[in-house]
Amino acid sequence: MSIVSWDIVLGISMYLIAVVLAIVYAIKSKNGYSEDNVCGESR
């Protein structure tokens, strides 16, 4: 458990978050933000 390990973990986590956000953005752009509309109408 050193500072280097934390840097690696933070780097990987930030990279994964960026990839997930990019995939979610692509899926929403293809669906025309239908998921957001459904969530808004259901609630």
**pLDDT tens digits, 27-40:** 888 876 655 555 55
pTM, two decimal places: 0.52
Cα separation, 37 vs 15, whole angstroms:
28
Rounded-to-5 percentages of helix, strand, coil across the chain: 90, 0, 10
**Can you tell me the distance from the alpha carbon of 2 to that of 41, in angstroms, rounded to the nearest whole number?**
48
Which residues constitute the domain of residue 32? 3-42
Indicate the pLDDT class of residue 18, thresholds 50, 70 and 90.
very high
Answer yes or no: are the C-beta atoms of 36 and 28 closer than 8 Å. Answer: yes
The pLDDT value recorded for residue 10 is: 94
The whole-angstrom separation of Cα 43 and Cα 29 is 22
**What domain count does the chain have?**
1
